[in-house]
Structure 1
């Protein structure tokens, strides 16, 4: 049985969880440089770039496959990747393994970023706009919590490893909680899919896409600086 209210709130918390994968790294760039033997600025830049490569791949792959395989498997996969990648990043012995861990951390965040919106939309057909706005506000809450936790860890004299391990339980708890939930269907048998070729010919779709691109670039450019 689908429990819309409970699953909606779990999606809100999952949105907070994915914020960890995007916002934790910038707080610790200087500390990571020291921990890994004095990384160059170029190497530090690649850490963020590799993480966002994972985010983009997660979004692009999850979109078309979620309609076929359902939302639950991707919600669990995204949470599992976050839960596994945070400890992996914490204990990465060298730069290469840290890059791999950050890629999968970004991949998990991208999968969740793609799947949470349609799930919340399907769960709340009569209050869709309010539910979606609240969902995305929880990303901001997660970003603030992540940055605050990282700042307090640094102030206490600890580093990257402590911050990763401190935040790792959240995706673990969500993984377990989501595993016991039933998810709504992502695709309706009554309606046909809109072909991408038709979408890109819609000027309002292109304008909205451009606005989201510029908004995201502005937000994340400042966050990752």
Structure 2
């Protein structure tokens, strides 16, 4: 007998679904403009802070070696811990976002890397700093993909690529800003002040 069921799965085309009909109209409506740019500003700041914090450990490394009397090879675990955390956070962010939602996951990610970065400023030794840098990396790794996805969802298809690429500019700007601020903060307040700034800013 012919199958009259209407709940057949739509074949995958390999492309992300696009909003259509009423949803597309809502995204393109003038009333959505203010919300869209507010979300862009927030996501841009998240990516900027991501860039700042990722590069922060490189800026403070010479001061760390001087204060704690360690050689460059001893800093390898600290430098790599955040990278391993980035990978772990990126892998975990998808399933967590699917279960709890992207906005909640993004908010939690920012809190994780903010608190961990702030705590790392008070590390008494390299071992504690390594652990906290890994946790910071987990938050950073989870924040980036969720910020990109959230921004894409609120962008009209005709400008989605431009808006997303513009948001990504926050990462190198954050890294560059970190270098500028580190050059001023470290001589005046010490290396811990860079991590304190990187931790407080996401929590504000």
Scaled by the length of structure 2, the TM-score of the pair is 0.78
Alignment check: 8 A CA contact 1:79 1:112 kept: yes
Match of 2:44 among 5, 9, 12: 12
Q: Indicate yes or no: 2:179 matched with 1:147.
A: yes
Match of 2:12 in 1: none
1:80 and 1:120 mapped to 2: Cα distance?
19
Match of 1:193 in 2: none
Task: Tell me the CA shift for residue 105 of structure 1.
Answer: 1.2
2:41 and 2:62 mapped to 1: Cα distance?
35
Q: Which runs of 5 or more residues in structure 1 are unaligned?
A: 174-225
SS across alignment from 2:169: helix
Render the CA deviation track for 1:59-118: whole Å, top value 9, x for unaligned: 011123312321012111111112211221110111111111111111111011121111
Tell me how large the CA RMSD over aligned residues is: 1.7
Match of 2:61 among 29, 39, 61: 29
Q: Which runs of 5 or more residues in structure 2 are unaligned?
A: 1-31
1:35 and 1:88 mapped to 2: Cα distance?
18
Match of 1:136 among 168, 171, 175: 168
1:166 and 1:132 mapped to 2: Cα distance?
26
Match of 1:104 in 2: 135
Match of 1:166 in 2: 197
Aligned length: 171
Match of 1:69 in 2: 100
Alignment check: 8 A CA contact 2:53 2:198 kept: no
Alignment check: 8 A CA contact 1:19 1:109 kept: no
1:4 and 1:112 mapped to 2: Cα distance?
18
Match of 1:39 among 34, 49, 70: 70
1:137 and 1:110 mapped to 2: Cα distance?
17
1:25 and 1:32 mapped to 2: Cα distance?
9
Match of 2:86 in 1: 55
2:199 and 2:96 mapped to 1: Cα distance?
27
SS across alignment from 2:104: helix
SS across alignment from 1:93: coil
Q: Indicate yes or no: 2:113 matched with 1:88.
A: no
Render the CA deviation track for 1:29-57: whole Å, top value 9, x for unaligned: 11111222x22322211111111110000
Render the CA deviation track for 1:96-144: whole Å, top value 9, x for unaligned: 1111111111111101112111111111033101111101111111111
Q: Indicate yes or no: 2:151 matched with 1:120.
A: yes
